[in-house]
Amino acid sequence: MTLTATTSHTVGPYYHIGLTWLNREDLTVAQTLGQRVAITGQVVDGNGEFVNDAMLEVWQANAAGKYAHPEDDQDKPLDPHFEGFGRVPVDAEGRFRFTTIKPGTVPGLSGTTQAPHLVVLVFARGLVKHLLTRIYFDGEPTNETDPLLACVPEERRATIVSKPDASGVYQWNVILQGTDAETVFFDY
């Protein structure tokens, strides 16, 4: 038997075919525990042009630092009103906005503690595989000891740390390639 490789396909921009029912720009409900935060930004390519057909998928722990996942066996409370998942499309100018809660700290490898963060998957046209990154929160004391953030060169950390504006809305952009400001993406 001979196996033939199939052609590669990009991960976008066909999200509107069967996936829009998963869009969720507000990860909270009225009963969700924790500090609500809004995060806004824009997805741009290496030339600074907006990417108008991208989608972000957000995964995170709850306010106590527990994931709504069967493999999270921490002795922390599970919030029945928080799934920790959202799928956020961008608008015609690559802009996005979503509301969630600031997660608690979660355990890392070898007894370390990870700072509050969101795991973000980026889907867009031209990508053969989605991109994986994180959003950290500016000013969090545990950012200094987060083991993954420590692996990122100091001059690049700003690409994955959101900063609040004067109204308290966190700003964070996705820059896909080509400049020193390119968002840090992780292998997995």
Q: How far apart are alpha carbons 86 and 53 in whole angstroms? A: 17
In a domain, 119, yes or no: yes
**Distance from C-alpha of 45 to C-alpha of 33, rounded to nearest angstrom:** 36
Residue 101 to residues 47, 122, 125, Cα–Cα distance (Å):
32, 20, 29
Encode pLDDT of 79-135 as tens digits: 999 999 999 999 999 999 999 999 999 999 888 999 999 999 998 887 778 899 999
Q: Count of domains in the chain?
A: 1
What DSSP designation does 50 have?
B
**Is 185 among the domain residues?**
no
Range(s) of the domain holding residue 41 = 13-173
Q: What would you measure as the largest C-alpha separation in the chain, in angstroms? A: 64
Has residue 183 been placed in a domain?
no
Give domain status of residue 136, yes or no: yes
Give me the CATH number covering residue 158.
2.60.130.10
> What average pLDDT score do residues 74-82 get?
96
Per-residue confidence (pLDDT) for residue 11, from 0 to 100: 56
| Model confidence band, residue 4 (pLDDT cutoffs 50, 70, 90) | low
Tell me the torsion sign for CA atoms 143, 151, 121, 65: negative
The token duo for 155 is: 């001059």
- Would you state the pLDDT for residue 19? 64
Q: Which pLDDT band holds residue 24 (cuts at 50, 70, 90)?
A: confident
- Residue 94 CB coordination number (10 Å): 20
Residue with tokens 């867009």: 124
Is 1 among the domain residues? Answer: no
